[in-house]
């Protein structure tokens, strides 16, 4: 058996380290072997060594520049490390492929990552997501609901049947962003259904069990089949909780399984889908006048559309680390795919403005050496030496939150802000600085900070962001840090009850609008 064949066999067996060793050996024997370059890059990507994978995919492209499959894989590796505009360019090349599977994959991935590309505005995001939705809709026949000629009056015992579907009901990190709202529903007026992909909700993930709630286990159920179940159950309102965070389930909305379909949480932009009746937003995330970039009708809630309920134990708030280190540590625990060139440039400007400051970054991608090397090289290109950076990898959640004890001031990413990351930093007493972005994805933190009474930490632009960071670094941080958690807990940023009441009003209003009830 040839070395290349041995490498391929190890790769198929998911023995990636062995496959990488054998592919490199095969290339030592013959550097013209395209399949060895491609296999090596793919094994590296499967090992999350995206920095090395990018270089090897580019080497493979010199041998076969027209291989569109290579562009798809290169785009995926680029996106993982925050090279988003370059990733979009490669996906667009692959979207022209003759192969339908490659085109579909490219359209799907473009729809997912478009809001995080600094080079694309809202109009481009809408066009990109509509293109994917149209492709998905080609093989779907949506259900038609006949509007009653005389809708029934909502009787005292008539409960509206609502169904939330999502993939993270067992994940406490995710669930703090909306389990409080789900728990707050008035079960005398609503029959609550949870359609669960993945592990079931539990007390550990914040769920308060209710006698009449219905929990559906739908993992692996095809969208068409699930749509039939939803229709048979006569669900009145179907609510998507995940959006592009669990993209495989988003096309369920194309089937029109319920007469009212609503998107809330996980969207940070238009769905692009034709059968979404309402998108839940707020005026800080989605200012009036931007509706033309959305396929849905917009309902803006009075506070933030993302109030959170911290229902589990978290580390105690600690004093600012600068009190013991003698220098300011800025930090971000955002995922690596949010670390765009625009973000790194702004952070570097802050470090240049404060010569003794440090920057701490932590995310899962930084577990891997080539990813750290990629990030260090990008900062070096911005004249930031490695000794001013602390790069940390993944950690258990409590340890992860404890990292905020090493950060004086948190810096947001853009154009794709933090969400969960923003509330966790605030909860740990750390100020979060952001900008007023040019799209919803770039205003998520603005929504949360405004509701928390911290709108002063939202800069109108990048120069102001840099100036604000320098000014805050010179201020006294300890006093505000010690009281921040209590202040936020008492603010609209944690008012899940009010959001629930407003969502309930929307659900009933839409039911009346669609002839389901008369109120």
Q: Which of the pair, 249 or 142, is modelled with greater confidence?
A: 249
Place of tokens 């995710």: 174
How far is CA 475 from each of CA 96, 332, 357, rounded to the nearest angstrom?
53, 20, 14
Question: Which of 137, 170, 192 finishes a domain?
Answer: 137
145 within domain boundaries:
no
144 within domain boundaries:
no
Residues 129 and 179 in one domain: no
As a whole number, mean pLDDT of residues 81-100 equals: 96
Work out the pLDDT band at 517, boundaries 50, 70, 90.
Answer: confident
Work out the pLDDT band at 1, boundaries 50, 70, 90.
Answer: confident
Angle of CA points 487, 493, 495, to nearest 5°:
100
Q: Which of the pair, 146 or 105, is modelled with greater confidence?
A: 105
Angle of CA points 145, 149, 151, to nearest 5°:
85
Nearby residues of 273 by Cβ (< 8 Å), 6 or more positions away: 129, 133, 250, 251, 253, 254, 295, 296
Residues 10 and 129 in one domain: yes
Q: What is the pLDDT of residues 343-370, one digit of tens each?
A: 999 999 999 999 999 999 999 999 999 9
317 within domain boundaries:
no
As a whole number, mean pLDDT of residues 120-137 equals: 96
314 within domain boundaries:
no
Residues 130 and 199 in one domain: no
Q: 358-374 burial, b if ≥16 CB within 10 A, otherwise e?
A: bbbbbbebbebebbbeb
Residues 275 and 294 in one domain: yes
How far is CA 82 from each of CA 71, 296, 340, rounded to the nearest angstrom?
16, 29, 5
Residues 60 and 159 in one domain: no
Question: Which of 114, 137, 160 finishes a domain?
Answer: 137
* Farthest CA pair distance, the chain: 79
Residues 178 and 247 in one domain: yes
% of the chain surpassing 90 pLDDT? 93
Query: What pLDDT score does 154 carry?
Result: 53
Q: Which of the pair, 146 or 428, is modelled with greater confidence?
A: 428
Work out the pLDDT band at 324, boundaries 50, 70, 90.
Answer: very high
Nearby residues of 168 by Cβ (< 8 Å), 6 or more positions away: 174, 175, 198, 241, 242, 245, 246
Q: What is the pLDDT of residues 49-90, one digit of tens each?
A: 999 999 999 999 999 999 999 999 999 999 999 999 999 999
The number of domains in the chain is 3
Please count the other Cβ atoms lying within 10 Å of the Cβ belonging to residue 152: 11
Q: Identify the CATH number of the domain in which residue 344 sits.
A: 3.40.50.2000
As a whole number, mean pLDDT of residues 477-491 equals: 97
Work out the pLDDT band at 390, boundaries 50, 70, 90.
Answer: very high
- DSSP-based three-state secondary structure for 379: helix
Query: What pLDDT score does 146 carry?
Result: 63
Nearest CA to 440 out of 278, 271, 325, 275 is that of: 271
Q: 418 pLDDT exceeds 60?
A: yes
Total residues belonging to the chain: 519
For the entire predicted model, the pTM comes to 0.95
Question: Which of 96, 112, 137 finishes a domain?
Answer: 137
146 within domain boundaries:
no
Q: 151 pLDDT exceeds 60?
A: no
Residues 358 and 223 in one domain: no
Query: What pLDDT score does 144 carry?
Result: 80
Q: Identify the CATH number of the domain in which residue 116 sits.
A: 1.25.40.10
As a whole number, mean pLDDT of residues 182-192 equals: 97
% of the chain surpassing 70 pLDDT? 97
- DSSP-based three-state secondary structure for 326: coil
Q: 487-515 burial, b if ≥16 CB within 10 A, otherwise e?
A: ebeebbbbbbeebbebbbebbbebbeebb
166 within domain boundaries:
yes
Residues 341 and 299 in one domain: no
Q: Is 268 left (phi over 0), alpha (psi -120 to 50) or beta?
A: left
Enter the DSSP assignment of 338: G
Q: 255-279 burial, b if ≥16 CB within 10 A, otherwise e?
A: bbbbbbbbbbbbbbbbbbbebbbbb
158 within domain boundaries:
yes
142 within domain boundaries:
no
Residues 353 and 464 in one domain: yes
Q: 251 pLDDT exceeds 70?
A: yes
Contact 201, 215 (CB under 8 A): yes
Query: What pLDDT score does 150 carry?
Result: 54
Nearest CA to 35 out of 12, 75, 73, 64 is that of: 64
Q: What is the pLDDT of residues 46-59, one digit of tens each?
A: 999 999 999 999 99
Residues 133 and 13 in one domain: yes
Residues 505 and 478 in one domain: no
Residue 330's DSSP bridge partners are 359, 409
Nearby residues of 165 by Cβ (< 8 Å), 6 or more positions away: 194, 195, 196, 197, 218, 238, 239, 240, 241, 242, 249, 252
Q: Which two tokens stand for residue 305?
A: 């559309």
Contact 210, 188 (CB under 8 A): no
Residues 53 and 22 in one domain: yes
Average pLDDT of the chain, as a whole number:
95
Q: What is the pLDDT of residues 21-52, one digit of tens each?
A: 999 999 999 999 999 999 999 999 999 999 99
Q: How far apart are CA 259 and CA 188, in angstroms?
A: 22
Query: What pLDDT score does 244 carry?
Result: 94
Structural domain of 13? 3-137
């Amino acid at each position: 058996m040839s070395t290349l064949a041995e490498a391929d066999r190890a790769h198929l067996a998911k023995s990636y380290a062995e496959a990488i060793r054998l592919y490199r050996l095969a290339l030592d024997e013959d550097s013209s072997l395209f399949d060895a370059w491609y296999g090596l890059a793919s094994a590296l990507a499967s090992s999350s060594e995206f920095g090395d994978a990018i270089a090897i995919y580019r080497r493979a492209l010199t041998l076969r520049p027209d291989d569109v499959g290579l562009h798809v894989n290169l785009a995926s590796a680029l996106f993982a490390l925050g090279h988003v505009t370059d990733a979009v360019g490669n996906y667009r090349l692959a979207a022209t492929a003759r192969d339908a599977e490659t085109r579909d994959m490219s359209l799907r991935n473009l729809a997912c990552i478009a809001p995080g590309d600094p080079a694309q505005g809202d109009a481009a995001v809408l066009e990109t997501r509509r293109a994917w939705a149209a492709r998905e809709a080609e093989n779907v026949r949506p259900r038609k609901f006949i509007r009653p000629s005389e809708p029934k009056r909502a009787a005292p015992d008539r409960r509206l049947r609502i169904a939330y579907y999502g993939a993270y009901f067992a994940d406490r990190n995710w669930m703090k962003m909306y389990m409080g709202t789900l728990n707050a529903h008035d079960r005398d007026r609503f029959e609550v259904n949870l359609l669960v992909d993945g592990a079931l909700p539990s007390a550990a993930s914040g769920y308060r069990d209710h006698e009449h709630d219905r929990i559906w286990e739908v993992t692996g159920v095809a969208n068409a089949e699930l749509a039939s179940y939803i229709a048979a159950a006569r669900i009145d309102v179907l609510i998507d909780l995940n959006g592009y965070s669990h993209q495989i389930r988003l096309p369920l909305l194309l089937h029109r399984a319920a007469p009212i379909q609503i998107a809330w949480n996980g969207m940070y932009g238009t769905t692009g889908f034709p059968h979404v009746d309402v998108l839940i937003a707020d005026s800080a995330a989605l200012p009036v006048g931007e509706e033309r970039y959305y396929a849905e009708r917009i309902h803006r809630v009075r506070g933030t559309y993302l109030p959170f309920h911290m229902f589990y134990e978290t580390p105690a708030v600690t004093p600012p680390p600068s009190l013991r280190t003698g220098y300011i540590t800025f930090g971000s625990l955002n995922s690596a795919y949010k670390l765009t060139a625009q973000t790194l440039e702004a952070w570097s400007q802050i470090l240049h403005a404060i010569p003794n400051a440090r920057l701490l970054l932590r995310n899962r991608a930084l577990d891997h050496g080539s990813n750290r090397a990629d990030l260090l090289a990008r900062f070096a290109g911005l004249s930031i030496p490695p000794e001013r950076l602390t790069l940390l990898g993944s950690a258990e959640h409590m340890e992860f939150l404890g990292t905020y004890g090493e950060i004086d001031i948190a810096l947001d990413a853009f154009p794709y802000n933090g969400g969960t990351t923003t509330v966790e930093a605030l909860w740990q007493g750390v100020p979060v600085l952001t900008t007023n972005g040019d799209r919803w994805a770039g205003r998520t933190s603005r929504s949360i900070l405004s509701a928390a009474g911290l709108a002063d930490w939202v800069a109108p632009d990048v120069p102001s962001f840099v100036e604000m960071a320098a000014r805050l670094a010179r201020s006294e941080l300890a006093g505000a840090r010690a009281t921040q958690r209590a202040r936020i807990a008492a603010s609209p940023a944690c008012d899940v009850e009010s959001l629930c009441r407003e969502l309930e009003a929307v659900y009933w209003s839409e039911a009346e609008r669609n002839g389901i009830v008369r109120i």
